[in-house]
Chains A and B, each alone.
Chain A
Amino acid sequence: MRHLLSAKDLSHDEAVLVLDTAAQMAATQSREIKKLPTLRGRTVINLFFEDSTRTRISFETAAKRLSADVINFTAKGSSVSKGESLKDTALTLRAMGADAVVVRHQASGAPHRLAHAGWIDSAVVNAGDGTHQHPTQALLDAFTLRRHLRDGRGDLAGLHVTIVGDVLHSRVARSNVDLLTTLGARVTLVAPPTLLPVGVEAWPCGVSFHMDDALAQGPDAVMMLRVQRERMSSQGGGFFPSGVEYSRLYGLDARRLAALPDHAIVMHPGPMNRGLEISADAADCDRSVIVEQVSNGVAVRMAVLYLLLAGSPDALATSQADDEARALA
């Protein structure tokens, strides 16, 4: 693993390795001293062209717990509007000697360009690009699913996950369809037809326009996607008539919550629009793992940085990583 650009890039075994590594990382995080020496002297740059405090501090925490030096580079605007081009920013980062660049960008494919245009040599981690991918989100979702529904081991074979909401604009949905199916789960997407991309029929998942029908299939987990209120206005694309109608047809409320199987969990990548795609009942219920997703995000991102910077996917087994292995044991 040279970069992590897309959940699609991960094989089944690589994905399981990341989850296993994340589990070891998570175990260290219950200790009094959470910091590991693994990435001492390495530099991780968080390059955020888009506001996302949650994702940035998650990566920052992960890198710092591994003793890496962390630099936050918040580039307001982009070459689309004004300011420095992505290329010049990349050349600047190279000059600073970044070992890894964690990039969040509003343009789909921007991390791919960073990794492959020849501008930098660093490992690139995609922290969300446009409407394309957000692979560490999918990894933390898979980690959370595995922990609750598969005793924290192996893959997700046999699980059925229903993802509800604005699939069209969602990098979280794309990443999860790829990763969860790689890990053996079955995915059903639920959305109004306007919020599904043309071409979704080629995805390895089921698609439904009707949430109640989808929930009647008894999914093991329901993942609610954030829906931006602006999408209902004519300027925002006019994707649905009103928030009230959206909630009625696609919101997770108390009634739908009660229709879920007893063991099913409720997930949301955050930030939530309470009252739009998810009611307070659902967000705060016992089966909601939304807050745990956040803490799992740190462990998963530690695992990704560890695997990218401490060596190949086999790094855990090499002598070079013996210290770390002991630290993890």
Chain B
Amino acid sequence: MRSPHDIARSAHDPAGAPITAYLLTNASPLGGAPTDVLLADGRIAAVGPALRAPDDDAVVLDAAGLVLLPGLVDLHTHLREPGREDAETVETGTRAAALGGYTAVHAMANTTPVADTAGVVEQVWRLGRDAGWVDVYPVGAVTVGLGGERLAELGAMAASAARVRVFSDDGHCVDDPVVMRRALEYVKAFDGVVAQHAQEPRLTEGAQMHEGVVSAEIGLAGWPAVAEEAIVARDVLLAGHVGSRLHVLHVSTAGSVEIVRWAKARGIDVTAEVTPHHLLLTDELARGYDPVFKVNPPLRTAADVEALRAGLADGTIDTVGTDHAPHAREDKDCEWAAALSGMTGLETALSVVQATMVDTGRLTWADVARVMSTAPAQVGRVADRQGRPIAVGEPANLVLVDPSARRVVDPQRQATQSVNSPYRGMELPGAVVATFLRGRATVLEGRLVEGGHA
């Protein structure tokens, strides 16, 4: 048996046999009673007290005090490749994902070229497979070129090797009600879902930040809450009318939470997402005009933050999606109006959820597994592989979290290629200790395991 101190060396050893077995001792699955968990041959081989490793090559990890969760699944990642490899690549973005505890990410379609054909989604899917840090599921664009006018070949993307099930023009709203209706209907043929970026375009022309007391004072053009809520209201009614699935991306206002709650009560098949940053940060941060806090939808008020936390706690909001949006330095090192919107988030999401939801007593770790793994896997229709229970025979996609750790966020030390983290210098709770993708450690002792995969 090898000690954890040998792990890094072993994992690096190209000549040695690949590690196939890990014994996690005294881990707390979903934050419950400690037990041992044995991973072998890519699966969970055994769960129970005082397990013994099957052979001397198994690595034993002392997981006392650590929470074991199913590997996290992000429905909302911008990997930027192809087109903006200066901001992020599939390789760097999925390294960040693994360090954040993820075993699967959905790569948004707003690349260059846009992921609106089978060719582009297959390219991204292959890049993800070759990188090997997490499963990469490409999201297909709803409309050609994100133009909002003509449906992209959704069927071809669904039937491609990338097996696309989530379609989104994220970054742009499918604002034409007829196009949105057609998309909602069309994807039913392959059990797809339309993930909407809810933003009424006319109400948000030139918008820079949440419209309210702060925008009035600091003179930045306002992005009113109603511009989101009007689209959410329209879309839930459309989804109800045609009997389709709808996923609302990055819900950011108290009013949107109310509308989704109402729609669910009416039996409409809608799911909703909140981002970590909307659970923690507010529009007050715009006062210093630092574009690291510029994001779309914008940071809202403390009352909105509270409504989002309540909505996530009571199940109105189903998933936490990072909206990880890396940007090249020059796109943030400028005046606010000239900056691009977006912030990185893969490596901080779990900590922010712990800080805002777990440490405040609003979610258990089992709930965290639901909103960050199980539910997003179901929305994305990858629940046969990801977001599985921690049980014998299941694929070993897992993350070990140390909830007692504290760390100060340093964007320079993150794996993402970009440094636009709004948490720079902030102390956050929790740390990912290890991540396993089909039984192989992608992260150990909080560090990437290089060369551990083909």
Contacts and interface: CB of A to CB of B under 8 A. Distances in A.
A47 B146 CA distance: 38
B219 A199 contact: no
Contacts of B333: 85, 87, 117
Given A79-B334, A107-B338, A132 B219 contact: yes
B321 interface: no
B289 interface: yes
Contacts, number: 88
B288 interface: yes
A174 B220 CA distance: 12
Interface stretch (A29-37, A108-116, A274-282, A283-291): A108-116
A129 interface: yes
A198 B336 contact: no
Interface in B182-236: 208, 211-222, 224
B214 A199 contact: yes
Given A85-B330, A116-B288, A197 B335 contact: no
Nearest to B221: A131
Contacts of A85: 330, 333-334, 338
Given A108-B219, A109-B220, A112-B289, A199 B335 contact: no
A258 interface: no
B276 to A, nearest CB: 25
A197 B215 contact: yes
A86 to B, nearest CB: 5
A153 to B, nearest CB: 30
A110 B217 CA distance: 15
A132 B221 CA distance: 10
Interface residues of B, number: 24
Contacts of B290: 113
Given A198-B216, A198-B224, A200-B216, A110 B211 contact: no
B213 A202 contact: yes
B334 A197 contact: no
A174 B334 contact: no
Nearest to B289: A109
Contact of A174 (B212, B219, B221): B219
A130 interface: yes
Contact of A197 (B216, B330, B336, B337): B216
Interface string A102-138: 0001111110110011000000000001111100000
Given A85-B330, A198-B222, A198-B224, A113 B215 contact: no
Given A87-B334, A116-B288, A109 B212 contact: no
Interface string B316-346: 0000000000000010011111100000000
Contacts of A197: 215-216, 222
Interface string A178-213: 000000000000000000011111110000000000
A130 B213 contact: no
Contacts of A273: none
A202 B335 contact: no
B218 A199 contact: no
A174 B216 CA distance: 9
A108 B334 contact: no
A297 B335 CA distance: 27
B218 A86 contact: no
B411 to A, nearest CB: 16
A247 interface: no
A132 B219 CA distance: 4
A67 interface: no
A78 interface: yes
A160 interface: no
B338 A199 contact: no
A154 B206 CA distance: 42
A171 interface: yes
B217 A113 contact: no
B216 A203 contact: yes
B217 A203 contact: yes
Given A113-B289, A197-B222, A198-B212, A174 B338 contact: no
Nearest to A198: B211
A80 B337 contact: yes
A132 B218 contact: yes
Interface string A19-35: 00000000000000000
B211 A199 contact: yes
Interface string B372-414: 0000000000000000000000000000000000000000000
B294 to A, nearest CB: 11
A200 B218 CA distance: 11
Q: Among B224, B289, B338, which residue has the most Cβ atoms of chain A within 10 A?
A: B289
A113 B212 contact: no
Nearest to A112: B289
A26 B218 CA distance: 32
A201 B211 CA distance: 13
